Homo-oligomer: A and B are copies of this chain.
Amino acid sequence: MNAEPASTEEPSSAVQNLEHHECWAMLRTVSVGRLAIVVDGRPDIFPINYTVDGGTVVFRTGEGTKLSGASGDSPVALEADGVDPSTGMAWSVVLKGTSAVVRGTEEVLDTARLYLFPWQAGHKDAFVRVTPDSVTGRRFKVTDPLTWWTQHSSAAKSSPE
Q: How far is the CA of A100 from the CA of B126 in the complex (A)?
A: 36
Chain A interface bracket (under 10, 10 to 19, 20 to 34, 35 or more)? 35 or more
CB atoms of B63 and A8 under 8 A apart? yes
Are A45 and B78 CB-contacts (below 8 A) given A5-B125, A28-B157, A63-B6? yes
Residues of B within 8 A of A124 (CB): 11
Copies of this chain, count: 2
The interface of chain A, by Cβ under 8 A from chain B, is: 1-3, 5-15, 28-32, 34-38, 41-47, 49, 51-52, 62-65, 71-73, 75-79, 81-82, 90, 92, 94, 96, 100-101, 103, 113-115, 117-126, 140-144, 147-152, 156-160
CB atoms of B119 and A142 under 8 A apart? yes
Cβ distance A140 to chain B, nearest Cβ, rounded Å:
5
Q: List 12 A-B contacts (CB under 8 A).
A: A6-B125, A11-B62, A11-B63, A34-B34, A38-B38, A44-B94, A52-B157, A90-B119, A115-B158, A117-B143, A117-B147, A149-B149
Cβ distance A54 to chain B, nearest Cβ, rounded Å:
10
Chain B residue at minimal CB-CB distance from A61: B11
